[in-house]
A and B are shown apart, each in its own frame.
Chain A
């Protein structure tokens, strides 16, 4: 790594090979070591673990892709796995269909020229995104609880009282309810990212469009929307990675069993349950690693699609 070839160590005149190596080790060493040991190594070790199977005597034997075969075909594993995968896909689709369009609409309104109180709206709407998923999940659990009756009161006020049901407790509605709570919390992220992209569009472009006879809405659809397409791609891949990696909200609201009857189970909760065990089964390191590796592959496919199809260069993101 530390190789000071001629002309390479720019302007470090008179520094010997050894001390140049020392210099690089000093600056890069801590970050590279911590990152490698606690991030990259565990990732590869997990993939490695997924190739081994625990024997009754406690030893681990190489099993090739056998664990994956078990996970995908043996009904004790495949039924929960496909259930979690399907639920996770729904979880993702609900975010794509509800969260991102709302985020886009809010961003479009916030970026209107001469809008007053812009910063206030932005700050307040972003607020739920700042709070812990645990706190949000529990607060919504209280609000939706038939015991407290707040949501029923609201529906009654709108004359829709008959619609009320224990949404979180019903198999048919638990997943969609949890998904919408997650949408409510994280709508701030697409909003802020798209908002910033919209602000970066030069004013002259919009002026030109309006001179050409387009109204604000048409100018948005035909001029701005194509320009922020890369940002929408970024928002989509972020949603994908976060959704297929989600855990906290379901665990906080529904516990590790993601009930009723696993109707809100997603990859993250399945992984946690498999690795740690629960009332129904003992923890299983090999199968836990296998599920984590599947999650890794799913996320990898999503990221690759994004990098190669939508965005051909690395971009920064957070959250």
Chain B
């Protein structure tokens, strides 16, 4: 009897907290589909046929740059994931497989970036990007985000590479495969699950970041969606339909991706974090 009472209490608390976590998100999405009058008149009601309106979305997508901001974000995030995974896996392979003299020192050097936030070097990053003539380009963002994400990805991928049975690599060598072929044809396919994990949790912070887009590509149509929405909100501050729709436009794709990848993402966040 006591057991079930405490189970009900636990569910009650969890349901309450879940409601608290979801309520603001649902409120914004729900009201973005309503006419202005209903947003203020009955904010907690679901949109009904009489109050339904897409006027806010018209305004958001009428501002044609929003679509290109999405493409910018996709390019930056995709590019970052690609280079982080490729260069990260290559470095992880060399660090685990080849015992050269400064191996440990190099691994430590790379690990510094895990704890120290790259943002603190922003002043010099801007100077560097200006000198390279890359200001207001997506290339600048991809380079900086790749540098930011490489340390952790090398660290995680190294652990997975170390688990690959030695026989597999030796068999490749006996068959006369070059070291390069062993990496690209044997190792890379084997660490695909680990790469998926790294990809998923590289994706979210890069997609959501405001700092580097604001510093490195704030104008010239090269804004990412996070910065673009932030600027859009600043302009349309009094147009509640537009504001709510812009927020929902930013929320909904992330929610869909999250629902698809939540398992991998949570595994990625926790794998090895606790030992």
Residues of chain A within 8 A (CB-CB) of B94 are: 23-24, 27-28
Contact A38 B18 (CB under 8 A): no
Residues of chain B within 8 A (CB-CB) of A252 are: 210, 230
Contact A319 B117 (CB under 8 A): no
Contact B43 A148 (CB under 8 A): yes
Residues of chain B within 8 A (CB-CB) of A12 are: 98, 179
- In the complex, the chain B residue whose C-beta lies closest to that of A135 is B250
Contacting B at CB under 8 A, from A3-55, are 3-5, 8-12, 15, 23-24, 26-28, 30-32, 34-35, 37-46, 49
Selected contact of A139 from candidates B24, B125, B207, CB within 8 Å:
B24
- In the complex, the chain B residue whose C-beta lies closest to that of A110 is B14
B270 within 8 A of A: yes
B: number of interface residues (CB 8 Å): 104
A259 within 8 A of B: no
Contact A1 B100 (CB under 8 A): yes
Alpha-carbon gap, A8 to B100, bound state (A): 6
- In the complex, the chain A residue whose C-beta lies closest to that of B91 is A31
CB distance from A64 to the nearest CB of B (A): 19
Alpha-carbon gap, A184 to B123, bound state (A): 31
Say yes or no: A150-B27 contact (C-beta < 8 A), given A1-B102, A135-B250: yes
Alpha-carbon gap, A149 to B20, bound state (A): 17
Contact A128 B21 (CB under 8 A): yes
Say yes or no: A245-B147 contact (C-beta < 8 A), given A127-B21, A134-B229: no
The digit string for B206-237, where 1 denotes a CB below 8 A from any CB of A, is: 01111100100000000000100110010000
A231 within 8 A of B: yes
B87 within 8 A of A: yes
A contact residues, range: 35 or more
Residues of chain B within 8 A (CB-CB) of A49 are: 123-124
Contact A251 B210 (CB under 8 A): yes
CB distance from B105 to the nearest CB of A (A): 9
CB distance from A214 to the nearest CB of B (A): 15
Selected contact of A193 from candidates B112, B116, B121, B274, CB within 8 Å:
B274
Alpha-carbon gap, A296 to B207, bound state (A): 25
CB distance from A32 to the nearest CB of B (A): 7
Question: What DSSP secondary structure best describes chain B's contact surface?
Answer: helix
B162 within 8 A of A: no
Selected contact of B254 from candidates A109, A132, A271, A319, CB within 8 Å:
A132
Contact B122 A193 (CB under 8 A): no
Contact A148 B40 (CB under 8 A): yes
Alpha-carbon gap, A14 to B170, bound state (A): 15
B99 within 8 A of A: yes
Alpha-carbon gap, A122 to B173, bound state (A): 45
A106 within 8 A of B: yes
Contacting A at CB under 8 A, from B76-130, are 83, 86-88, 90-91, 93-95, 97-102, 106, 109-125, 127-128
Contacting B at CB under 8 A, from A104-163, are 106, 109-110, 112, 115-117, 121-128, 130-136, 138-140, 142-143, 148-150, 153
Residues of chain A within 8 A (CB-CB) of B17 are: 106, 125
- In the complex, the chain B residue whose C-beta lies closest to that of A7 is B99
B258 within 8 A of A: yes
CB distance from A114 to the nearest CB of B (A): 8
Contact A275 B116 (CB under 8 A): no
Contact A142 B243 (CB under 8 A): yes
Alpha-carbon gap, A46 to B128, bound state (A): 11
Contacting B at CB under 8 A, from A242-297, are 245, 247-248, 251-252, 268, 271, 275, 285, 288-289, 292-293, 295-296
Residues of chain B within 8 A (CB-CB) of A175 are: none
Contact B205 A316 (CB under 8 A): no
Contact B116 A196 (CB under 8 A): no
Alpha-carbon gap, A193 to B273, bound state (A): 7
Selected contact of A138 from candidates B243, B274, B275, CB within 8 Å:
B243
Residues of chain A within 8 A (CB-CB) of B255 are: 127, 130-131
The digit string for B7-30, where 1 denotes a CB below 8 A from any CB of A, is: 100110110011011101101100
Complex interface: stretch among B46-54, B63-71, B151-159: B151-159
Contact A37 B128 (CB under 8 A): yes
Say yes or no: A124-B22 contact (C-beta < 8 A), given A8-B100, A23-B179, A37-B147: yes
10 smallest CB-CB distances across A and B, nearest first, come from A42-B121, A38-B147, A45-B124, A27-B94, A31-B91, A42-B124, A132-B208, A196-B270, A43-B121, A39-B147
Some 13 contacts from A to B, beta carbons below 8 A apart, are: A10-B97, A27-B90, A27-B91, A38-B118, A39-B148, A115-B7, A121-B14, A130-B265, A131-B255, A142-B243, A192-B270, A316-B272, A318-B201
